[in-house]
Structure 1
């Protein structure tokens, strides 16, 4: 069995930055155990398997961390859209995820190369995160400048606001203590206006810290708009990954009114950096 794959660096326009993603271009015939084993073998934060559509999408995708399958994740959707959009020669692709169908609009340069994509993400459910004391202790901080809340769009993210980008960069959390909280992603952020810096710690997925978290970028825009740090409909630019030498840039925008989220969009670039195949018996 020969399994072809593509490696893309996502949320960057230069190779060897952003968040790494392996996309297996034909996942037919693979069982869940084999997909999970391949994701562990690759070792990236997520690995995608492309499959024929079952609903109204252009393709179905399954997303695996080194430890488990996810119903939705941001950089796998965007990266898979870049990989699929090239041969399809389409201005948009719709990907069937475990959460819902996610449409991705693709922008091309004069040569026809895809240079940017924007995905309409699932609208997250928001709940308070009441047990903040062990969270702050695990992060080594005194508190958050905004209410700490949990956003679930298929991935469970908690958001903690810090005074400055320097405070974000200085974080040195206790991974075991974070893991005991049972949260998929702990996001610490700072900034103002249209520019924000964030770090995402993911103690449950076997990665530790994420280089670029598309599934958190949309909820961050929601969180900022709900707490009146930005306007609904305002696009923000998010910097992430510099502390682990994988600088990434994400853009996000949320539509809503008051505390009600109506729509979420996240965008970024991606570059394909490698192609290969696994040979299995």
Structure 2
């Protein structure tokens, strides 16, 4: 029976017991696919990561599992894993090999050397129209979107719906209908200028901090003229769940084309443990 150590971090927050929970197995060597999936189910967080030796020139390879299946890319697991690895490795950039390629995370430190912020360069998303926007609105309990409803795919799939701020608290998502959209999150956003709020729904509930959606949200707002290209926005999420989070995002581009996407935030380690399997 082998022992596998893990770290639990709360991501997109600097306050323990808020943000989005993540378990990071810092050395996944010796674990097969089935055991990784079983551990992700046992822990029960939205995602769990397993760190492995690099294969493509990155700092490390990372595999991401939710309780049901492996994911090619996700935002808070990428940022959280970089925070966990960055402390012992003492590197300024952690380049994580994911299912959609290498995602670099630049880490910022204070005078004591403690990591205080991380910025990941995300894959540029593909944009697709949503064929039945009225079905999406009905699925979250909204009447209309201020901007066109579109789907963004950066390795994770996210629909973006833009609402008035007063509508966010009253949304009543229908998980059965959302499940018919496939492995897709529905992100309802509201705000102005650099300050935005978001709620993300998927078939099994709500997410407190969705890093893979923050980049597409910045892209969506820039493409439709509500923020400037290159302007950093702060997205508050998880408030209704009692796990507030803050995600910083910006998109570079112009004339409807996306050139680069960056998402940043903080993370805090809250627990360490060991599984014997």
TM-score (norm 2): 0.98
- The secondary structure found in structure 2 opposite 1:94 is strand
Corresponding residue for residue 106 of structure 1 = 107
Q: Does 1:274 align with 2:271?
A: yes
Within-5 A mapping of 1:149-228: 149-164=150-165, 166-203=166-203, 206=204, 208-228=205-225
**Structure 2 match to 1:261:** 258
Residue equivalent to 2:35 = 34
SS in 1 for 2:81: helix
Tell me the secondary structure at the aligned position of residue 56 of structure 2: coil
Instruction: Give how far 1:169 is off.
Output: 1.7
Deviation at 1:134, TM superposition (A): 1.8
SS at match of 1:105: strand
SS in 2 for 1:144: coil
Q: CA deviation at 1:183?
A: 4.4
SS of 1:222's partner is helix
Deviations 1:62-99 (A, max 9, x none): 00111111101100000000011111111111000000
Task: Report if the CA contact (8 A) 2:142-2:167 is conserved.
Answer: no
Q: What is the distance in 2 between the residues matched to 1:6 and 1:24?
A: 7
Distance in 1 (CA, whole Å) between partners of 2:183 and 2:222 is: 23
> Are 1:65 and 2:56 counterparts?
no
SS of 2:40's partner is helix
Q: How does 1:73-84 map to 2 (within 5 A)?
A: 73-84=74-85
CA–CA distance in structure 1, aligned partners of residues 25 and 192 of structure 2: 39
Q: Distance in 1 between matches of 2:87 and 2:53?
A: 17
TM superposition score normalised by structure 1? 0.97
- Measured after TM superposition, the shift of residue 133 of structure 1 is 2.1
What value does the CA root-mean-square deviation take over the aligned residues? 0.8
The residue that corresponds to 2:136 in the other structure is 135
Structure 1 runs of 4+ with >2 Å offset: none
Distance in 2 (alpha carbons) for counterparts of 1:131 and 1:138: 11
- In the alignment, structure 2 segments of 5+ residues that lack a partner are none
Gap runs ≥5 in structure 1: none
Q: Structure 1 residues 185 and 68, CA, compared in 2 at 3 Å: closer, same or farther?
A: same
The CA distance in 2 between the partners of 1:10 and 1:185, in whole Å, is 19
Count of residues in correspondence between the two structures: 276
Measured in 2, the distance between the counterparts of 1:183 and 1:98 equals 16
Give the whole-Å Cα distance in 2 for the aligned partners of 1:43 and 1:183. Answer: 18
Q: Which residue of 2 aligns with 1:238?
A: 235
CA distance in 1, matches of 2:140, 2:80: 30
